[in-house]
Amino acid sequence: MASVKSLPSLENIMAGGAIFAPDSPIWLARFADPVWPFLVKGDPLFRGDAESSIAWADFIHGRGYTYGGLNSLLKAQYTYCLTDEIVADLKIAAAIYSKFPKLIKHAKTGKNGIDPQTVKARIDELAKVFSSAIVISQARYGRVITKLSDISIGLLKEAIAQYPGRGGALKRALKLISDVAVQRNLSAPLKWQLIDIEKGSISWPKTNVGPGIATLTDLHFLFIQDQCIQHILRFKAMMGMPVHCVDVSRKPGWGGDIDLKARGEAVDAYLKGDVQDRVLFERFGIGQRDLEVFICDAQNAAILLILLLTGMRDSETRFLFDDALEFDKGYWFLKSKVIKGRPKSAPVAEGWLAVDITRDAFDVLKYFCSITGNRYLFSSPFKRFAESGLGYAFGSLNTKLGRFLKRIDVEGTYADWQFSMHQCRETLVFQLAKQQVGLPFISIQLKHFHSRFFNMPNEVTAGYGNYRKALMLSVTGRMADARESALQDLYGEDAKFAGGGGEAHKARIDAFFAGKGYFGAARVRYIKNLANSGIKVQPTSIGSCSKNFALPVTDKEPPCYGDFECDPDCDSHVITERGGQALIARRDYLLVKADSETNKEYKVIWIGQAKKIGRHINKLGLGERHGN
């Protein structure tokens, strides 16, 4: 084996004309290699060969050429047609950017240098725009481009003008190749300078931010949450596992008379390999396919609930292990680590608050880990798929959970909806904001610790979560959207109300808007402006309190003052339709308690409370829809 050569010295790079020997080490490869991998298979962040490396031949022959990805080649949005000479120069630029980033003007480097993914992204942008220049030169002028030095500033501007990608990303890539430290080491000087890119009269493509990722509607969010809870509690009941979240305790039925203990024994025996597929039905009365569907549904529900209630990014789930749940400072947390903008070598030390039902979801997944021996929390529950010891691949959960959600949506209510893991993150923020949860907690849960949480750094994050229309450059705009949604529930023209103060509230707000002459769209605009003004409401666990606490208290303070246990019949309590969904869950809980209560006197109390809540549900017109 040839000896590994050292990289050129810093002095060589600064002087120009530095020589990168074929054996110079670059990440997990050598300079002359046709592929530069930067992650190995088995690394939690490995996204596949193509995504975890720079495949230089793809820039000459097209996307998918190196790894035989015919589908990638056919679906490629961009044309790649670089020459060997241009690729050789791009290799030099990538090597300098990766190994000597401090020489590059404006390069943002951490103590571990430049992230290889960033280098890959910059080179990819350059390959796209230079390929476009080659095509334009041949088609319009009949000139063949073979080297970077053949591309004039005018031709480059033409390629930039028709570039379909993000202008900001392209500009950063061109600043890299145009930097003095890079240019003086290329095969020949370019026909433009860094100042032409930074301050020249170039018309950069406008970035189409788009609407961002839409949040789940309230009903969809509650539907998914309820389905996940049902599957988790059903599984834990069958396996004889204790339940942490007693507040949502309800009967985990199968829609039939099922022996829970026997079904749990079937799951345990099948997963451990103690029973053969062919005798599974004979012993336990359930076939292999049905049992595997049940197991997968419980696992999918647990994964989805964790995503919904923690807001974790896909990359952050890569470091969730079977011992991730920790008790610290009086609270439970799921421990992982933030990857975005952080060193990859950072320890697993970040905590995401885990409420009781999240702990239940964790228990389900931990059980599967104990069976397979795979420590990754998000990994297959079946030994035959878990032997690799790896978690699910990047992007695979979108497909896996999407199929699960389509299966549980038996009525097809959300048939046109496309699942995205990031939508869970957006929805969590939106729901927390609607409940007046403060920005500091939201920022901690989402791990936006630094100033860019308030001042978004680029056009991608400016559209984060579909809040761009409220406040272009700040993620705090999501708070305005949430306030607007909450106020539309509370002051909307067609809104329905229950609670002791519901009728009086409806009459009061309708009289107010009628007096101002605000109807239809005018009323909607007024409420929107009200939300943007920063107005706050006083939420309760199932609605809003309409009492004005700013006025002097003429009688004794209400017993509910300062907590979330308001009496639904209180004269100041206004229950919106959204609050009605919480009422239904509360009523179901009371009915479960009544059904399991052996003391007749206590049973009457549970039933009485359920009926009391049922009256408010009926006021909102939700009775028939939920089988009341």
**Of the ranges 348-357, 560-569, 571-580, which one carries the lowest mean pLDDT score?**
560-569
Phi and psi based region of residue 427 (left: phi greater than 0; alpha: psi -120 to 50; beta: remaining) = alpha
Residue 163: per-residue pLDDT = 92
Q: What percent of the chain has pLDDT over 70?
A: 82
Q: With cut-offs at 50, 70 and 90, classify the pLDDT of residue 244.
A: very high
Q: With cut-offs at 50, 70 and 90, classify the pLDDT of residue 156.
A: very high
Structure confidence by residue, pLDDT tens digits, 221-235 = 888 998 999 999 999
Residue 74: per-residue pLDDT = 52
Residue 449: per-residue pLDDT = 43
Residue 151: per-residue pLDDT = 97
Residues ≥6 apart with Cβ < 8 Å to 495: 488, 489, 506, 576, 577
**Of the ranges 125-134, 313-322, 523-532, which one carries the lowest mean pLDDT score?**
523-532
Q: Is the pLDDT of residue 142 over 80?
A: yes
CB 447 within 8 Å of CB 194: no
Higher pLDDT, 411 or 375: 375
Residue 568: per-residue pLDDT = 74
Structure confidence by residue, pLDDT tens digits, 301-345 = 999 999 999 999 999 999 999 999 999 888 999 999 887 767 677
Which domains, from first to last, does the chain contain?
A: 10-199 (no CATH), 218-457 (1.10.443), 477-548+560-626 (no CATH)
90: amino acid identity, one letter:
L
Distance CA 130, CA 145 (A): 10
Q: Is the pLDDT of residue 457 over 50?
A: no
Q: With cut-offs at 50, 70 and 90, classify the pLDDT of residue 387.
A: confident
Residue 213: per-residue pLDDT = 73
Strand-pair category, 325-328 with 29-30: unpaired
Residue 77: per-residue pLDDT = 73
Residue 380: per-residue pLDDT = 95
* Mean pLDDT taken over the chain: 82
Q: Is the pLDDT of residue 25 over 60?
A: yes
Structure confidence by residue, pLDDT tens digits, 73-98 = 555 678 899 999 999 999 999 999 99
Q: Is the pLDDT of residue 385 over 50?
A: yes
Q: With cut-offs at 50, 70 and 90, classify the pLDDT of residue 152.
A: very high
Q: Taking residues 401-405, what's their average pLDDT?
A: 94
Q: With cut-offs at 50, 70 and 90, classify the pLDDT of residue 217.
A: confident
CB 439 within 8 Å of CB 479: yes
User: Angle 118-119-125 (CA atoms, 0-180°, nearest 5)?
Assistant: 90
Residue 550: per-residue pLDDT = 65
Distance CA 359, CA 362 (A): 5
Residue 455: per-residue pLDDT = 35
Q: What percent of the chain has pLDDT over 90?
A: 42
Residue 562: per-residue pLDDT = 46
Distance CA 381, CA 384 (A): 9
CB atoms within 10 A of CB 596: 11
Report the half-sphere exposure of 103 (CA within 13 A, side-chain side): 25
Backbone angles phi, psi at 6, to 5 degrees: -85, 160
Q: What is the DSSP string of 527-577?
A: HHHHHHTT---EE-SSSEE---TTS--SSPPPTTTTSS---TT-TTEEB-H
Q: With cut-offs at 50, 70 and 90, classify the pLDDT of residue 485.
A: confident
Residue 89: per-residue pLDDT = 97
Higher pLDDT, 490 or 367: 367
Measured torsion, CA atoms of residues 413, 417, 419, 422, in degrees rounded to the nearest 10: -120
Structure confidence by residue, pLDDT tens digits, 44-76 = 888 889 999 999 999 999 988 898 865 555 556
**Which pair of structure tokens corresponds to residue 306?**
């964790």
